[in-house]
Structure 1
Amino acid sequence: MTRAIILAAGRGSRMGELTAEQPKCFTRLHDRRLLDWQLTALRAAGINQIAIVRGYSAASFTEPVQYFENPRWAETNMVRTLAEARSWLEADDCIVSYSDIFYSAATVRALAANGDELAISYDPDWLAVWQKRFDDPLADAETFRRHADGRLAEIGARSDSVEAIEGQYMGLLKFTPDAWQRVAALLDERGSTADKLDMTSLLRHGLAAGWRIGTVPVVGPWGEVDSASDLAAYAEVDFSHVAD
């Protein structure tokens, strides 16, 4: 059985007034909250056990799902937020979603079907999206390179060449219980120094430690909302295919 965990503890301060009184995933895009698009895609992919890890503006959430809490959301990063859902991660395969993205059910199904213990989705046509979001795509884009067999080879560094970037990681992952055990061991080893560990840094650590990390190309619409200006970049996205 595959479950899903949405990481929604942070405020998303770069969104400015849009998150002054509500979580980042309540930002509206095409007349629905980002959270609504995520729940639609996950449920259309056949995932009915869904949890949200909340922190900032926690009382705003009223969806009938499982909740985990990160009371230290203001001083910790994404991996510590994920660890609050460790009881699910220890028990079943879990799709893990950032709360500031949208994606399709087809991408969720493809990721869930990947045979690796840890896998991530990515956009091979990332440049078209980044050109809509940034005057200089390389100001935000990070390295992404795969081995010939599809496993991840490099991620998360800066690059001065668009041609050297094979895609962009999109904030959607799959963990099996075995994969989570490796992450949990790392958190135990690092103690409080792991509080600021973000997901990309975790993936880079995994590569250095010899972890096999699968990669799955995005299918259908997707996007990341990191600032208020990002909303305009997705004005022409066909959201009718989110549930496909």
Structure 2
Amino acid sequence: MGDNTTFDAAFLDGIDPRIVERICATLQCDRRDIVDVAPVSAGLTNKSFRFSCAGEAYIYRHPGVGSDALINRTSEAYALGIARKLGLDSTFVHEDPIEGWKISRFIPGCVEFDYGDEAQVDAAMELIRRLHRSGETSPWSLDFHEEALRILGMLEQASYPIPDGFSELRATIDEAAAFLARERGEKVFCHNDFYGPNILVKDGRLQLIDWEYAAMGDYGCDLGNFIAQTPEYSLDDCTRLFDSYFQRPATPAEARHCLACAAVVGFYWYVWSMFQEMQGNPMGEWQDIWRRAAQRFGAHVLPSYRCDPALRARRMSRKEFDRLVARAEAGKASEDELQALEPYRAKRAVLLAAGFGSRLLPVTATTPKPLVRVHGVRIIDRLIDALRAVGIEEIYVVRGYLKDEFDRLLPTYPMLRFIDNPLYDSTNNISSAAAAAGCFENAYVFESDLLLANPGLVTKYQFESNYLAIPVPATEDWCFDADEKGSITRIAKGSDKPCWQMVGLSFWTKEDGARLAADIPAVFAQSGDCAQIFWDDVALVHRADAYDVHVRECSFDDVVEIDTFAELQAIDPAYAVEGD
């Protein structure tokens, strides 16, 4: 570090006087005690200078332009305290967690970290292993892929000229990140900028400095940083590095995981460098180093990931699911990506259509409610059309009241399969669900009297079991309470507090559908009043511990529930009675 400084006697007079005040307050010194001031050119973004006070040398770090958009200084200050406690960084003196300025001890006589020195590399692995195995945690976390996309959003908003070939690289990294998310690498306290320039070497002892990005994260991202931020590391070098970290030969899966982390981390720093360039702080050759790391390691790991059947069968993250669905909807998904989405594909639907619909008299005297026409179209037709639009042809209609009337659907929809419910007039709709209980895997379940105004609510893929619901400040209708993750915690009739008004359109995953195949008949067969409950109570009340069902938001404009003849008249003037 000393080699990167140049003495400037007038430097102190030219800086912000508040900086001098901070130094004096922190070190309990007088301005005249601050001597030997010299700017430091080391570091990629922050502005720093060296000084001495009371015979000891220090570094003052002032945050660089735009760093507040990327760095959480409160998180950094927290991490520095942990690093000092673990003996990983003895240089830390003080940081202001709001403004981000920092004072550290200057360690003279340090030499550059040598990636080619196996002893130094082993010592560096011991440092990071000590951090990872410390058991320390942080309230903050860092996902390099998500953060790269956040920065990319800022670049696009500012109309930054994205380089040619970037979209292809992003597609590679998006896919690698999706596989990483599915692997669920161990989350530990990470440094997140672990590479040579941040490792101080003196007399064979190593210290780890610059904790700006430290937070909880995938352990592999620290190894990925170490690899991605040097142009010299070969795959053989990486293998030796992993063996040193694990203190045993790394498994092929571990090595692949860490190399994928190197690709994602390299991509992050590449995007980060564009942001710095936009701020007037170009990164020079570093930008190419990071880009090449993303390209090289991304291309290396994807073939192995794509042919790993165990990994492809593992449940993906919500972020990965949303990304793949977006690619599928845009017609850009590969065969492997479509295969990964297959467990989430809606494959069938159950339309509960057995009830009488007495409140819709006189129309329902001769016509089952789902067959009532609104603006010339049968209510149930809109549901069936929405299902077929996303490729669902396995459609079950549970019928009861005037069941033969549903045969009129067959000329238009010959694929329909009817399930008769002879108990419809003596039980609640749980009897209809029990009649179709074996059809709930990867299935939409509809109350068939819903007027579907937005067919886009019926999608080809669904991530989890869910009910459509409308956020409301209060309601007299059936509603849900849900936690911060959207999981339904209660179903009730009416609420005077903010809640989710229930819509009778749900989706059930393969796993939950298989459970329902057993649970619905079992609950229905119980003594007491279980024959008179709504079928929804099975998963949400009687067997709630076995299910994690979420709300899926919609609006009153998306779905209309026509409960009465007056409501039907209001929607379709064709039903107006003369003289009304």
TM-score (norm 2): 0.35
8 Å contact from structure 2 (residues 375, 572) kept in 1: yes
| Residue aligning to 1:167 | 500
Match of 2:567 among 205, 230, 234: 230
| Residue aligning to 2:525 | 191
Q: Which runs of 5+ in 2 are unaligned?
A: 1-345, 574-580
State yes or no: 1:76 paired with 2:427. Answer: yes
Aligned residues: 217
Q: Which whole-Å CA distance do the structure 1 matches of 2:435 and 2:545 have between them? A: 24
Q: Kindly tell me: are residues 146 and 233 of structure 1, through their superposed partners in 2, closer, same or farther at Cα, counting changes over 3 Å?
A: farther
Q: How far is the alpha carbon of 1:200 from its aligned partner?
A: 4.1
Structure 2 residue matching 1:41: 3-state secondary structure: helix
Amino acid at match of 1:39: I
Q: How far is the alpha carbon of 1:232 from its aligned partner?
A: 4.2
Amino acid at match of 2:533: L
State yes or no: 1:147 paired with 2:483. Answer: yes
Q: CA deviation digits over 1:169-211, x for unaligned, max 9?
A: 1100112343234332353255154321203433531575352
State yes or no: 1:23 paired with 2:360. Answer: no
Match of 1:96 among 434, 442, 445: 445
Q: Which whole-Å CA distance do the structure 1 matches of 2:421 and 2:486 have between them? A: 34
Q: Which whole-Å CA distance do the structure 2 matches of 1:42 and 1:190 have between them? A: 28
8 Å contact from structure 1 (residues 153, 207) kept in 2: no
Amino acid at match of 1:52: V
State yes or no: 1:12 paired with 2:350. Answer: no
Amino acid at match of 2:504: G
| Residue aligning to 2:417 | 66
8 Å contact from structure 2 (residues 430, 524) kept in 1: no
Structure 1 residue matching 2:469: 3-state secondary structure: strand
| Residue aligning to 2:558 | 221
Amino acid at match of 1:6: L
8 Å contact from structure 1 (residues 93, 174) kept in 2: yes
Amino acid at match of 1:120: Y
8 Å contact from structure 2 (residues 434, 520) kept in 1: no
Give me the CA root mean square deviation.
2.5
State yes or no: 1:114 paired with 2:114. Answer: no
Q: How far is the alpha carbon of 1:77 from its aligned partner?
A: 1.6
Amino acid at match of 2:560: G
8 Å contact from structure 1 (residues 119, 173) kept in 2: yes
Return the structure number with greater relative CO, CA threshold 8 A, min gap 6: 1
Q: Kindly tell me: are residues 82 and 228 of structure 1, through their superposed partners in 2, closer, same or farther at Cα, counting changes over 3 Å?
A: same
Aligned residues: percent identity?
26
Q: How far is the alpha carbon of 1:54 from its aligned partner?
A: 0.5
Q: Kindly tell me: are residues 95 and 198 of structure 1, through their superposed partners in 2, closer, same or farther at Cα, counting changes over 3 Å?
A: same
Q: Which whole-Å CA distance do the structure 1 matches of 2:375 and 2:519 have between them? A: 41
TM-score (norm 1): 0.78
Q: Kindly tell me: are residues 165 and 142 of structure 1, through their superposed partners in 2, closer, same or farther at Cα, counting changes over 3 Å?
A: farther
